Amino acid sequence: MPSEKTRMLAGELYDGQDPELVADRLRARELSQVLVALPPGANAERADLLAQLFRAPTDAYVTPPFFCDYGWNINLGRNVYFNVNCVILDVARVNIGDNVLLGPAVQIYTPLHPMAAAERRSGLEYARPVSIGDDVWIGGGAIICPGVSIGPRSVVGAGSVVVKDVPADVLVAGNPARIIRSLVQE
């Protein structure tokens, strides 16, 4: 019988209160709290802490506070910048490309709950991955919903709620986000 973590990673219904998953979330929370407490200029300590959180070396700059469920389910490209108060609920894989800018209070969600109330009461949930291409800028307060992919070089306007895939080279904004214009230089 597969573990709850295996079910979670497969996108199946799983129990988020499983002790292994709870321990992983507590680990991420503790590392995030240590990040907040680091003094300015503690670059070596910051790099070590981020490598522990994401379980891979990274040159990302994370401005605390930063919140995530697990950390190890976030794949970061090079030169990624997180402004203050970013939240990534990384129940499913979150892939972030190179040269991505996330404004303050950007929220990236992967978890979902069943639509049927009786099934929701069971406490089981599932998730869909999020993918953000290279050179994307996500404005402050934007929310990226489960299962969304954002194409390279696109811009998400501040406060937008992205509920469907965004093609490359466009500006999207609004709730729900819609294409405002192309960013292709002619």
> What are 58's two structure tokens?
């990274």
Sequential DSSP letters for 144-179 = E-TT-EE-TT-EE-TT-EE-S-B-TTEEEEETTEEE
Query: Which residue in the list 113, 120, 164, 181 is annotated as catalytic?
Result: 113
Q: How far apart are CA 35 and CA 13, in angstroms?
A: 32
Q: Catalytic site residue 125?
A: no
Sequential DSSP letters for 89-132 = E-SS-EEE-TT-EE-TT-EEE-EE--SSHHHHHTTEEEE--EEE
For the annotated catalytic residues, the residue numbers are: 113
